[in-house]
């Protein structure tokens, strides 16, 4: 039996609360392990594409972001991280913002 975790990603809206109590939302790349949100991009997701891909590539990204706005909003507490190197998320600290997905793993 293969116990390899299923990894996936998509865009999601994440809600943040500042120290002053101000609430704001932005679209981020969110990475999942076995359907559980585990990491998100530190900065909001940009809309960008390679020049050779043409405008169609931009519309694909924009459609993915449109879908993110229609899904339930995530909060930092929705994220789990297992810094022990394993994939057990049953007793893990909340929120893991990553600068580079090389920090998170593929």
Q: What is the pLDDT of residues 13-71, one digit of tens each?
A: 999 999 999 999 999 999 999 988 999 999 999 999 999 999 999 999 999 999 999 99
Global pTM value: 0.72
Q: Is residue 53 part of a domain?
A: yes
Q: Is residue 1 part of a domain?
A: no
d(CA 56, CA 43): 24
Q: Is residue 93 part of a domain?
A: yes
Categorize the per-residue pLDDT at 96 as very low, low, confident or very high, splitting at 50, 70 and 90: low
Q: Is residue 80 part of a domain?
A: yes
Q: Is residue 90 part of a domain?
A: yes
Domain boundaries, position 77: 7-100
Domain count, the chain: 1
Residue 81: its pLDDT value, please? 52
Q: Which residues sit opposite 31 in a β-bridge? A: 9, 39
Q: Is residue 106 part of a domain?
A: no
Q: For residue 87, is pLDDT > 60?
A: no
Q: For residue 78, is pLDDT > 90?
A: no
Q: Is residue 105 part of a domain?
A: no
Q: Is residue 78 part of a domain?
A: yes
Of 42, 15, 35, the closest CA to residue 26 belongs to 15
């Amino acid at each position: 039996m293969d116990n390899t975790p299923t990894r996936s990603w998509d865009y999601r809206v994440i809600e943040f609360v500042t120290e002053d109590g101000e609430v704001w939302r932005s679209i981020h790349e969110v990475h999942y392990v076995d359907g559980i949100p585990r990491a998100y991009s530190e900065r909001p997701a940009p809309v960008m594409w390679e020049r050779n891909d043409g405008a169609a590539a931009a519309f694909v990204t924009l459609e993915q972001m449109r879908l993110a706005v229609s899904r339930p909003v995530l909060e930092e507490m929705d994220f789990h991280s297992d810094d022990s190197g394993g994939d057990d998320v049953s007793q893990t600290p909340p929120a893991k913002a990553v600068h580079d997905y090389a920090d998170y793993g593929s």
